[in-house]
Amino acid sequence: MDIISGLLQGFAVALQPLNLFWCFVGVLLGTVVGILPGLGPPATIAMLLPLTFQMSPTSAIIMLAGIYYGAKYGGSTTSILLNVPGESASVVTCFDGYQMARKGRAGAALGIAAIASFIAGTVGVLGLMLIAPPLAKFALSFSSPEYFALMCLGLAMVVLLAGKSLVKALLAMLVGLWIAGMGIDLFSSTSRFTFGHMEMLDGVDFVVVAIGVFALGEVLGNMESREEGQMLPVPKGLRNLLPNVEELKACRFAFVNGSVIGFLIGVLPGAGSTIASFISYGVEKAVSKHPEKFGTGVPEGVAAPEGANNSETGGALVPLLTLGIPGSGTTAILLAAFVLWGLKPGPLMIQDNPTLFWGLVASMYVGNVMLLILNLPLIPLFAQILKLPVYVLYPIIFGISIVGVYSVSGSLFDVWMLAAFGLLGYLMRKLDYPAAPLILGLVLGDGMERALRQSLMMSQGDLSILVSRPISAVMLSLAVLILIAPLFRKANAWRIRMIDEQA
């Protein structure tokens, strides 16, 4: 009953003209970002974050979430037409989507991707709506030790699946914790790692690191070469974009499979939409009557991964909104956005900010409908974006990054930091250090230190408080198990296979 009244309240918020407008802007930008190879949702959200400070938090989160799930829709377009995934979650769509396009069924492949995204995206929001409130109620019993353990567990999951080298992923996370610790320590007023700069007393702004590492690092990496892909022609007219009855019939199970697997994987920190799409594709192939045809252009090979990567969005928002624990780079940036707007995602989020939570949930239903409408008839138009030369796109990204960072603090020192973090982002890519653990370490570092110190204050310095409480003991044990799992050969082989698939 609470859920129904909450949802009705949410629709009252989401259907306000201003919120509808921002939702549309978000899904439109998301689609564009998804289509453009080399510019992902975390980079875009990080770049636009400073511009949301003048908006109401509800409108801002509706727009940023729109970018997040909208990019999942758009990502399939380049996979199908160029055999180049617009974002990592669309890698699997290349297998059958591009083959369908080569057989002259590009329109049907794009149509199936849009329909699967719509169905699974809606199922994901339904899951978020049903699971988040009871989980938040359960999390109300958490105290500092449980929060510390939960953050350790979240970081362990992300580190486990972030890169081929567990050591490098852990090191990236530690660098994130170090950056998070810069500035004045709020417990003792000690200034830490400020290098004598007054500007560092407030710490390093998250926006600077996120834009530098994700946006500039990504663009610098893309500028290594001048190559551009060859696009297959996009069929014109809605009729040519709709799949036929046989194709839709073949996708029945794939729609369900993608929706369920995507959501469940999304709830797990660290797994993410790329793994969700691979697992869903694997399950679809395993239960298929003709597994040998996968990879040659079967419609269910497009529907399952596209569904999974959209449903994952709803799942990923569950731990973010109810526990305040992000599971990926993008949700870490969303968490930072909440903090910058003065909100605190966690068990009290739904209770304290029902308008924002239910408004976001309702806007995702609305956004999915907008995306379906945008993505079916307007695909030929969106595909034209691929003709935008990179030498026009990249200066725009550089410009938005500089303006975005400068608009937060009005400080040129932060622009210098941006350039430094841009180089760090590029070097991390080059040296195979994953960026997600760094960002998560940065976002969680402050809270993690606070939770640990509060726990030890509660116990007068006795570390056993972390393992003497059942929930924190279980979560810490799981975190330790996750981190030592790669020591076992089979588990490590599975981990590396997952990462290979992700890469």
Partner 1 sequence: MEDKSFKAADLWSGLALAALGVFIIMEARQWEFMGPDGPGAGFFPLGYGIAMVALSAALVIASVLRNPSRTDSAVNWRETGRVFAMWMALVVAVATLKVSGFVINFAVLTFFIVAVMYRRPPLRAAIVAAACTAGFYLVFPLALGVSLPAGMLGF
Instruction: Give how far Cα 152 sits from Cα of 15, 170, 440, Å.
Output: 39, 12, 11
Residue type, 385: I
Helix (H) or strand (E) holding 64: helix 57-82
390 belongs to the binding site for partner 1 (CB under 8 A)? yes
CB 132 within 8 A of CB 395: no
190 belongs to the binding site for partner 1 (CB under 8 A)? yes
Q: C-beta of 181: minimal distance to partner 1 in Å?
A: 6
Pick one of 46, 100, 220, 254: the residue that binds partner 1 (CB under 8 A). 220
431 belongs to the binding site for partner 1 (CB under 8 A)? yes
Pick one of 11, 253, 341, 406: the residue that binds partner 1 (CB under 8 A). 406
181 belongs to the binding site for partner 1 (CB under 8 A)? yes
Q: C-beta of 393: minimal distance to partner 1 in Å?
A: 10
Window 301-330: residues binding partner 1 (CB under 8 A): none
Q: C-beta of 217: minimal distance to partner 1 in Å?
A: 10
369 vs 403, which CB is nearer to partner 1? 403
380 belongs to the binding site for partner 1 (CB under 8 A)? no
Residue 102, token pair as written in the block: 């080569």
Q: C-beta of 86: minimal distance to partner 1 in Å?
A: 21
Instruction: Give how far Cα 67 sits from Cα of 119, 330, 334, 373, Å.
Output: 18, 10, 11, 16
Residue 419, token pair as written in the block: 């350039």
Q: Return d(Cα 403, Cα 50) in angstroms, integer.
A: 9
Q: C-beta of 258: minimal distance to partner 1 in Å?
A: 31
Window 40-99: residues binding partner 1 (CB under 8 A): 51
29 vs 303, which CB is nearer to partner 1? 29
CB 465 within 8 A of CB 455: yes
192 belongs to the binding site for partner 1 (CB under 8 A)? yes
481 belongs to the binding site for partner 1 (CB under 8 A)? no
First-to-last C-alpha distance (Å) of the chain: 44
223 belongs to the binding site for partner 1 (CB under 8 A)? yes
Q: C-beta of 194: minimal distance to partner 1 in Å?
A: 10
394 belongs to the binding site for partner 1 (CB under 8 A)? yes
CB 418 within 8 A of CB 208: yes
Q: Return d(Cα 418, Cα 403) in angstroms, integer.
A: 11
Strands 183-184 and 191-192: antiparallel
Q: C-beta of 352: minimal distance to partner 1 in Å?
A: 28
377 belongs to the binding site for partner 1 (CB under 8 A)? no
148 belongs to the binding site for partner 1 (CB under 8 A)? no
Nearest 5°: the CA angle 403, 219, 225 is 145
Alpha helices in 376-468 (DSSP H): 379-383, 390-409, 412-430, 435-458, 465-468
Mention every residue, 6+ apart, whose C-beta is less than 8 A from residue 100.
Answer: 80, 106, 108, 109, 297, 298, 299, 302
131 vs 456, which CB is nearer to partner 1? 456
51 vs 378, which CB is nearer to partner 1? 51
Q: Return d(Cα 300, Cα 247) in angstroms, integer.
A: 8
Q: Hey, which residues does 191 pair with through a beta bridge?
A: 184
Q: Which residues bind partner 1 (CB under 8 A)?
A: 51, 165, 167-168, 170-171, 174-175, 177-178, 181, 185, 187-188, 190, 192-193, 216, 220-221, 223-226, 389-392, 394-396, 398-399, 402-403, 406-407, 410, 412, 415-416, 418-419, 422-423, 426, 430-431, 433, 448-449, 452-454, 456-457, 460-461
